[in-house]
Structures are given as structure tokens and as C-alpha cells.
Amino acid sequence: MQRALFHAPSPRICRAVIALLAALVWGITVKYDFAWDDHSFIIDNQAIRSLKNIPAMFYSRIAEASHPNDFPNFRPMRNVAYALLFQLGGQATPQPWIFHLANVLGHTVAALLLFATASLLFLPAGESPSRWAALLTGAAFAVHPAASEVVCWAKGLDDILAAIFVLAAARQLLLWHGEKRRLAAALAFFAVAVYAKESAVPFAGLVFFLLRACHNLPWKRSALLTAPFLVVAGMYVAHRELMLGQAAQCAPISGAYAQTLLDTIPAITIYFRLLWGVPPFSIDYTDMRGHLRFLSLSVMTGLALLLLWAAAAWTAWRGEKFRPAAVGLLWLAFFLLPVSNLVPMMQYLAERFLYLSLIGWLLALGAVWARAPQRLASLGLAAALFALWIPVSLARQAVWRDEVTLFVRSSLDHPANKRLRENALTSIFALPQMHSAFGLDDTTRRLQADSSIPRSQGEAMLPTLRQAHQLLPDEHRLTAALGISYAVAGQISNAVPFLELAARQGSNDVQCWIDLGSAYALENNLAKARQAWETALRLEPANRLASEHLRALNAK
């Protein structure tokens, strides 16, 4: 009875379960729109609109983004994929559904490859336990909420491609028994992976430990077989630096290199929570503080987790039984190296950085499960994790429906994050019914209103602005836009209270006081209009518009 209970399903059924789970969790994203940096990398990127540009993608930065100098990366295989997807869309502009479909299918392929790789890695535990463990590993990757940013964001195709080809290379190495063709195939897959995204480069170092752990090769033999992968990695890094003129994405974001490394250590704690699929999640971590002290609690906690990982990896490696778990832990660490700020990056942390590393974490958990003596209890734990992860993933993917949903909901979840708030405002004012009437100044971020908004447009904007104001009631630029729209619609009695509120909320925003003065003038409340415009001039004595209003008022 016990054997029947744990008799592993066939590989075909395992693959079907993994594909079905991926489709159920992420399939709806095919209906979603482009968002965020998709504008620069896909929508406005003219170079991906012709297959004739593919050769140049490997020796020029023309296809990196609409403004390639603003985005220091070199990922030609990703750009080739973008160009092919554009052609498959068959329209004059990129079609979001086909890019999202590519992400869902790509993530599914990555999960299936992880199942295949894990089946080989766990095989010493026995055929049935290894297949069960591999099924759980692949299924966990298919539904894990930490993958949401990569799967739901069209731009995330580079991470998916890197994962697919890294896993394909790892599988070839696990199948290798001296055949040159498998080694050549692994090298080819690895080369494609690094040209999809530079985060695949650390696999070159992981090869050594894969060969040692899975084929029990001598140290020298493992090192010799690893050398070609290091050569490919070195060639790509040199090629990338030649193209970009720099190795790092930017100067150290904490000012000094050592301080930047120190300030990245707290990210370990957040990554550890995210690896378990525990909320909260965020699309943006730019509110993380820098310039931390070495003995601060967040740094000490990160270092403690780092030591815990080292102890676990060392213990697992020493015991041959759990060496596959050690490989998983090493995989986790190797693929976090590109984002450790050893080579300075533009941010301390991002959830998409976990995509490749998550594979190692799940391999470690799967290897432990394959050897677990109480498999029924372990299966219960796995079921509990899936019960947590699937609802969280469904909630996370819904955030990516469109740009307004993405930024407004993210801003509500993380109100202290100023960049999310600014992105939320930008996305609202970019809506079709809004963009010709309102905008935000690129430098000051003040609200700019068109001086000739038609009454019909003012009336049409009111429902959207009322809803936006309800969601972000303390945002003075939305409050002001709502007041202006009421004024344009001829409802000045409704406009004044909102413009008064906007002036209180944004008391240092000159434009709020100018708009309030104009509303008072429409009510023929000239004394209050004068007070509002004089307040604007106290804030900004050289403001031309406030001065003109006061001169016109004095001339009456």
C-alpha cells in the first residue's frame, strides 16, 4: 500500500501537470497590455521591427532600446526574439498578446526543463522518489510568485531565455558520459544563454561543481572540462564591455564601492523571504536605504543568513547523500552574484533577479524531499507551500493587467515609495482621455494643464479623476486635476473645494496656488484670488504667470 501510494506518475503525466499549472496561473496574462520599460525596449524600439537588423544586434547597440545610451545592457539574443515576435504579430506596431504568450510558453518550457534536469540530479535517491521530487520542483517553479515579475512583464523574456538555455546546458552535462557532442551542446546552450542576458554568466563556475557532484570526477578533470565554459563567459564579458564601454551598469549607487556592497547585504533577508513565496512583493525597491552601518540590524541579519547558507551548503556537500542539495544551494548563490553589486548595478534589489536563482533554491528543496524518510509529511508540507504560492501568484499577476493597475496598486501597497507614486501619476495622466489635457513637468513634476481643454473633455475626465482621487486622496496633483476638470466642465462650485484641498496638500506647489486663484477669479471672489496669487509669488517670486494674474487684477 505504501509503495502504491508513492508510485511516481509517468514523465508524460508529470510534464502535463507542470504545463497545466503554468497555464492556469499565468495564462490570463496573454490578455494584458505592455507596461513600464516595455515602451523603451519594445513599443518604441524601431530596430526590432525589421529582421534585417538582426546581424547588427551583435555588433551594435541599435536594438537595445528606443534610446540605447540610456540602458547600459547588451542582450542581442533577447532582441532577436523581440524582432521575431514583432514579425509574428503581423501588425504595424508590436502586439502585446504575442509577447505575453511568448513569456508564458517560455516559462512553461523552463519549468519542464527544470523537471527534466531535477529528474537526473535526484536519480541517486531512486527512480520513484526522484521523479516525485522532480515533479514538485518543476511544478513549484511553474507557480512560484517570485517569478511573477519576469512572466508578467513582456520585457522579462531575457530572464526566461537565459533560464531555458542554462537549464538545457545543465541537462546536457548531467547526461554527459564522455561524449563530445553533449559537451559541445552544453557549450552552445550556455553561449545562447549569456547573449540573452548577462546574468547567465555565473553558470560557467557552477559547471565545476555539477561535474564533481554528479559524475564524481577528479578535481583536475572537472577543472579542465569547466575551462571551455569559462572561455565562453570571458569572451562574452569582453564583447559586452567593448559594446558598452563599461563593465558596470553605473557608478556605485552608494557613492563608494565598499559602501554599496555593504548596503546590498540587507537584500539577502528580503530574497530569503521571497524564495519562500511569502508576501509582501513589490515591483520596485528603490526606497531601500543606503549608507548603512556595518553593525546595523539589517546588515547583521543578512550576514547571518549568508553564514547559514554557507554552513548548509558545506554540510550537504560533505555528505554524498545530500550533494544534489548542495548543488542547488550553490546554484542559488552563483546566480545571485551578478546582483550582489560586486559589479555595481543600478539598484540594490529586484524580484526579477531571483528568477535564475530560484531554480537553485527549488533544486535544494527537491533534493531534500527526495531523501525525506517521512514522505507523506513532506508531501503535506509541499501541498501547504502550493496552497500559499498559487493564490499569491494569481494576485501578483493581476497587478500587471495594464500600466495604471500596475502602478496605482503598487503605490497603494507601498505608499512610502516615491518612484511608484510618480509612475502611478504618470500612467493616469497618460490615459487616452487625459493625456492631451494634463501632464507632469519632467523636471519639477508639477501638474501642467492645457489652457484650452474643451468642456466635453473636462466632463469626460471627471469619472476617471474621481476614481483616481478616491484611490490616492492625498495626492495634490490628482486633486488639482479633478478641480480643474470641474472648472472646465462649468461646475465651479465643485471645483473650488478640490482646488483648495490641493493647495493645502501641496502647499509648496506654486501651480496649485495659481490654479486656486484662477478658480476664485471665476467665482468673482477677487480678494481670495489675490491672496492665492500672492502666495504663489512668495513661493516663487519670479513666477511669470502669477505676476501676470496680479497685474491684470490690479488693472481692473
State the pLDDT at residue 3. Answer: 43
Task: Please give the grid coordinates belonging to residue 400.
Answer: 500587471
Rounded Cα–Cα distance for residues 427 and 436 (Å): 13
Residue 397 has pLDDT above 50, yes or no: yes
What average pLDDT does the segment 451-468 reach?
Answer: 94
Rounded Cα–Cα distance for residues 8 and 15 (Å): 13
DSSP states of 294-339 = TTSHHHHHHHHHHHHHHHHHHHHHHSGGGHHHHHHHHHHHHHHGGG
CB contact set of 499 (below 8 Å; sequence gap of 6+): 479, 480, 483, 484, 487, 512, 515, 516, 519
What average pLDDT does the segment 9-25 reach?
Answer: 97
State the pLDDT at residue 6. Answer: 60
Task: Please give the grid coordinates belonging to residue 197.
Answer: 542576458
Reported as a single tens digit per residue, the pLDDT across 151-172 is 999 999 999 999 999 999 999 9
State the pLDDT at residue 171. Answer: 98
Helices (H), 122-156: 127-143, 148-152
What average pLDDT does the segment 114-118 reach?
Answer: 98
Residue 256 has pLDDT above 90, yes or no: yes
Task: Please give the grid coordinates belonging to residue 83.
Answer: 524582432
CA quadruple 110, 115, 116, 120: dihedral sign: positive
What average pLDDT does the segment 420-439 reach?
Answer: 94
Residue 419 has pLDDT above 90, yes or no: yes
Rounded Cα–Cα distance for residues 249 and 244 (Å): 9
List residues bridging with 440 in a β-sheet.
447
Which pLDDT band holds residue 494 (cuts at 50, 70, 90)? very high
Task: Please give the grid coordinates belonging to residue 87.
Answer: 514579425
What average pLDDT does the segment 358-368 reach?
Answer: 97
State the pLDDT at residue 374. Answer: 66
- Cα→Cα distances 250→195, 273, 333, 346, 348, Å: 20, 27, 23, 6, 12
Nearest to 264 by CA among 227, 292, 226: 292
State the pLDDT at residue 52. Answer: 95
State the pLDDT at residue 372. Answer: 82
Name the percent of the chain lying above pLDDT 70.
Answer: 98
The number of helix segments (H) and strand segments (E) in the chain equals 25, 2
Residue 84 has pLDDT above 50, yes or no: yes
State the pLDDT at residue 526. Answer: 92
* Cβ–Cβ < 8 Å for 480, 445: no
Residue 375 has pLDDT above 90, yes or no: no
Domains identified in the chain and CATH numbers: 263-354 (no CATH), 404-554 (1.25.40.10)
pTM: 0.93
Mean pLDDT, the chain, as a whole number?
94
